[in-house]
Structure 1
Amino acid sequence: MKEKSFEKKTELLEAALNEFSSRKYEDASLNNIIKSAGISKGTFYYHFKDKQEIYIYLLKSSVNVKWEFINKNIKVSSISIGGDIFEIFKLQAKIGAEFASMYPKYHNLSKMFVKEKGNKIYDIAKNVLIEDNINPLNEITEKAIKKGDFRNDLPDVFVN
């Protein structure tokens, strides 16, 4: 029974990713997701409380997968660039483009999320992502400050 439940959840997440990566949150339809996944409403509600919960789950998953991909590839490449923060940022951009190519649905989800700016769901999701401290840029910036990659006369608010 658990294997079947896991299989249904995978189909549900794939259907939801398709829906949210092609439509804004308000335009995305829970009924379309359920229909595409080939599940009942009861199965949906077994896994998620509502549309918002699955949306935020997908955003968190997307961000985690992206940063895992970037960090893995940066560690391999940063040895050759010496760890300078500006070279790391350039490398992150390059690796981010590779990620978009390898994971186009996650990339499209993030593009759709940016379009939510100004909507309630944007603020809710952004706060959840910040609370989970998913963005490792703070750690990279703090290391660069300690190494002296930034001028000392720059205010902290500019650097952070």
Structure 2
Amino acid sequence: MDTQLAQPKQTFVNLPPEKRENILRAAVVEFAEHGYQRASLNNIVKQLGISKGSLYQYFDNKEALFLHVFDHFTQQVKRYVKVSVMGNGQDDFFVVARQVLLAGIAFIDSHPEYFQVYLKVLFERDVPRREELVARVRLFSLEYFGPLAERAMAQGVLRSDIPAQKVVFILDAMLDRFLQGYAQPYLDGGLALAGMSADRLHDEIDSMVAVLRTGLQPFVTGD
């Protein structure tokens, strides 16, 4: 899961961190705005003030640069999730779900262009290795939430009649659609998530988590 999709050339690795970040930032902005096929390396090098030949010293082609951008996106998402959950009810499945959703909001606020690149991968068919890219994001959800779901089932916190993989599927679907709606108003189903105050947004998140609890917690029968 942590293996890179495409290795940049050693000349890129040897660059000072600030220069690497500048190249990534220019590439992210271009891919976020235009998608993969319409993105132009000419626009990227113009923004950077370098020649296209210089860019080819760092990456073999546009595909390699794009895949490196997506690698960086997934690494950043993992970091946000890890930091958000650390020390915040890590043993409570539903608390973790809430913290991960808040981490997603924080990530979009801090890196909106990266999330737009992700949306381009979801909705555009002409992205190289598209199925693999989407599968990587889904696999991260399964690897992260799968053990939590299995532990919660063993503790009697989750229904035992729903396989852990299905629990993760339900949770992942909710998280992904909520974040899509937050990032793009036309995807929010009329909830107006993007314009909400922080307090109202937290209320919406609590409501979503409450629905998950209602559907996924074991039934309690009366005497």
TM-score (norm 2): 0.58
**Distance of 2:30 and 2:86 partners within structure 1:** 33
Distance 2:34 2:146 in 1: 34
Of the candidates 159, 164, 171, which is equivalent to residue 151 of structure 1? Answer: 159
CA, structure 1 residues 100+36, in 2 after alignment: closer, same or farther (shift >3 Å)?
Answer: same
- Partner-residue secondary structure (3-state), 2:34: coil
1:101 alignment partner in structure 2: 109
Q: Deviations along 1:92-119, whole A, 9 cap, x unmatched? A: 1122112211222222222222222x33
**Unaligned runs of at least 5 residues, structure 2:** 1-10, 169-223
Q: Residues 63-78 of structure 1 correspond to what in structure 2 (within 5 A)? A: 63-78=74-89
Q: Distance in 2 between matches of 1:140 and 1:34?
A: 40
Q: Is the counterpart of residue 91 in structure 1 residue 99 in structure 2?
A: yes
1:10 aligns with 2:17: no
Correspondence for 1:44: 55
Q: Please provide the CA RMSD for this pair.
A: 2.8
For residues 57 and 17 of structure 1, do their structure 2 counterparts lie closer, same or farther at Cα, with a shift above 3 Å needed?
same
Alignment match of 2:145 (pick from 123, 137, 140): 140
- State the alpha-carbon separation in 1 of the partners of residues 141 and 58 from structure 2: 29
Q: Flag the structure with larger Rg.
A: 2
Tell me, which stretches of 5 or more residues in structure 1 are unaligned? none
Further displaced range: 8-17 or 54-63: 8-17
- 1:125 and 2:133 correspond: yes
Q: 1:61 to 1:24 in 2, by over 3 A?
A: same
Amino acid at match of 1:20: F
Kept in 2, the 8 Å contact 1:14–1:37? The answer is no
Question: Identity of counterpart residues, as a percentage?
Answer: 24
Higher mean displacement: 42-51 or 135-144 = 135-144
- Deviations 1:3-60, CA, capped at 9 Å, x for gaps: x943544332221111011111111111111211111122111110111111111111
Q: Would you say 1:56 and 2:63 are equivalent positions?
A: no
Q: How many residues align?
A: 152
Secondary structure of the residue aligned to 2:57 is helix
Identify the range of structure 1 (10-19 vs 148-157) with the bigger mean alpha-carbon deviation. 148-157
The answer to whether the Cα contact below 8 Å between 2:31 and 2:39 also exists between their aligned partners in 1 is yes
